[in-house]
Amino acid sequence: MSEETILAVLEAHGTLPVQPKDALSLELLTGGFWNRVYRLRSKENASLDWVVKQFVQVPVNPMFPILPTAEHAALQFLQDQECAPTPIAFIADSPAGSLLVYEYVQGSIWNGDLEAAAILLARVQSIPIDAFAMDAFRKLPTDAIALQNHAQAMLQGHQSVLSDSVRELRPPVSTQPVHPHRRGVLVHTDCGPGNMVSSPQGLRLIDWQCPGIGDGLQDVVTFLSPAMQVLYGYPVLTAAQEQQFLGAYFAALDERPKDAQKTRARLHSVRSSHHYRFAAYCAMRAQDTATSDEKTSRLYGVALQAEIQILHRLLTQGLGP
């Protein structure tokens, strides 16, 4: 699909102010795993500095589905909360496909500030879910059994030695009663370091293409996931860095001591199951891309080994982090 078509769709939709075509610049950005993302700027209007996200049709991803309408809803829900880009427009169906337009976030990809990342997640999770959000977002699995069942479903389609090596690490499920999450919160689900932008106004979370309502600890474990760090080109966090992040997160939650204790107990109970699901996903992706994209397959293989290492560590220590 040509860039001219995208501009024509935006103009016909009334999103793009009428101005000379040579005054506009539409630059394809890099870094996205699936969709085509452009930066749209105007030489005549400095305030017109937008991202145009063009969603592509790909097979359904069991971990990170592409949900254009939900991404737009997430940006609407988070508007003015200083944690995500500001939405401009959403065109669900056009000759250029589904297009989402939002303000470009000036800055650079996450600079390694663990405390800022932890505070950002806590701030998102502090926003009460309203009727709009309840209708707009899918419901996510939250307990250890549901997470492991999802992992098993991903492994089921790949009867191989690699899949078997992951199945062998299936964590035991605690028989101790665990206090459930108090309320559903908006979960990004793909909050790796590559989806955090360090801007002059603070850290922002971008690429809300697969949000849901669930337990905020999902985003916590996602960020801590060695596989996520590897996939986005970052070194795996050390145990000391994990504790630094978790300390900042729990402090930012500002929970009562009793509630904080329950949240920590829940993390202790479900963390291994989240990592097990990530390992299953990496094994699935490594095998799915083995013949079509050797470079991607190798990357997921490295991410899998990193996730297996943390699973070994957690299983050695017990269920907790």
pLDDT tens figures, 132-145: 999 999 999 999 99
**Spatial separation of the C-alpha atoms in residues 118 and 113, rounded to whole Å:** 9
Pairing of strands 36-42, 49-54: antiparallel
Q: Has residue 136 been placed in a domain?
A: yes
Q: Has residue 79 been placed in a domain?
A: yes
Same-domain pairing of 84 and 207: no
Judged against a pLDDT cut of 60, whether residue 158 lies above it is answered with yes
Same-domain pairing of 133 and 268: yes
CATH of the domain at 15: 3.30.200.20
Q: Has residue 203 been placed in a domain?
A: yes
Same-domain pairing of 26 and 159: no
DSSP E strands, 45-114: 49-54, 87-91, 99-103, 108-109
Query: Per residue in 234-292, pLDDT tens?
Result: 999 999 999 999 999 999 998 888 888 899 999 999 999 999 999 999 999 999 999 99
Domain with 65 in it: 3-104
Same-domain pairing of 81 and 124: no
CATH of the domain at 267: 3.90.1200.10
Judged against a pLDDT cut of 80, whether residue 64 lies above it is answered with yes
The model's pTM: 0.93
Same-domain pairing of 185 and 246: yes
- pLDDT at residue number 179: 56
Per-residue burial over 263-285, b if 16 or more Cβ lie within 10 Å, else e, is bbbbbbbbbbbbbbbbbbbbbbb
Tell me how far the alpha carbon of residue 1 is from its chain's centroid: 27
Same-domain pairing of 65 and 175: no
Q: Where is the domain boundary, 104, 129, 153?
A: 104
- pLDDT at residue number 194: 92
Helices (H), the chain: 3-13, 68-77, 114-125, 131-136, 144-156, 161-167, 217-224, 226-231, 239-253, 257-288, 294-317
Q: Domain count of the chain? A: 2
Judged against a pLDDT cut of 90, whether residue 17 lies above it is answered with no
Q: Has residue 32 been placed in a domain?
A: yes
Same-domain pairing of 46 and 195: no
Query: Per residue in 301-310, pLDDT tens?
Result: 999 999 999 9
Judged against a pLDDT cut of 60, whether residue 314 lies above it is answered with yes
Classify residue 17 by its DSSP letter: P
287 Cβ neighbours under 8 A, 6+ residues apart: 158, 160, 162, 163, 297
**Spatial separation of the C-alpha atoms in residues 268 and 220, rounded to whole Å:** 12
Mean pLDDT of the chain: 92
Cα-based angle 30, 222, 232 (whole degrees, multiple of 5): 25
- pLDDT at residue number 175: 63
- pLDDT at residue number 178: 58
Same-domain pairing of 150 and 204: yes
Tell me how far the alpha carbon of residue 187 is from its chain's centroid: 8
Same-domain pairing of 97 and 128: no
Q: Has residue 75 been placed in a domain?
A: yes
- pLDDT at residue number 247: 96
Q: Has residue 191 been placed in a domain?
A: yes
Q: Where is the domain boundary, 58, 84, 104?
A: 104
Q: Has residue 21 been placed in a domain?
A: yes
Q: Is the dihedral of CA 90, 96, 98, 101 positive or negative?
A: negative
198 Cβ neighbours under 8 A, 6+ residues apart: 107, 108, 109, 110, 111, 113, 116
Q: Where is the domain boundary, 81, 104, 127?
A: 104
Same-domain pairing of 183 and 205: yes
- pLDDT at residue number 321: 41
Question: Residue 201's CB: how many other CB atoms inside 10 A?
Answer: 10
Q: Has residue 109 been placed in a domain?
A: no
- pLDDT at residue number 170: 96
Same-domain pairing of 132 and 198: yes
Q: What is the SS3 assignment for 319?
A: coil
Same-domain pairing of 126 and 99: no
